[in-house]
């Protein structure tokens, strides 16, 4: 018999917007203009974000 605790499981993902709505409101107010405006198209910015996450071994 193993004494190791089992990992908790969830059937549904957590809705972080419900848990911290004020944080996400401020985050999106900061993030959207930089993502949607400027010379570089949003698609290229998103691809760069995904590549950076991959390089840093970050699951997004």
Would you tell me how many other CB atoms lie within 10 Å of the CB of residue 49? 13
Query: Distance (Å, rounded) from C-alpha 17 to C-alpha 28?
Result: 11
Instruction: Return the H-helix or E-strand segment holding 7.
Output: none
Cβ pair 16, 24 in contact under 8 A: yes
Six-digit token string for 43: 């698609």
Domain spans of the chain, in order of start: 35-60
Reported pTM: 0.48
pLDDT > 70 fraction of the chain, expressed in percent and rounded = 82
pLDDT digits (tens, 9 = 90+) for 32-45: 888 788 889 989 99
DSSP string computed for 21-40: HHHHHHHHHHHHHHHHSSSS
């Amino acid at each position: 018999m193993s004494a190791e605790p089992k990992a908790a499981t969830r059937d549904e993902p957590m809705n972080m917007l419900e848990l911290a709505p004020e944080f996400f409101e401020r985050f999106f107010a900061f993030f959207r203009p930089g993502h949607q405006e400027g010379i570089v198209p949003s698609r290229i910015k998103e691809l760069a974000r995904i590549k950076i996450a991959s390089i840093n071994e970050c699951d997004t």
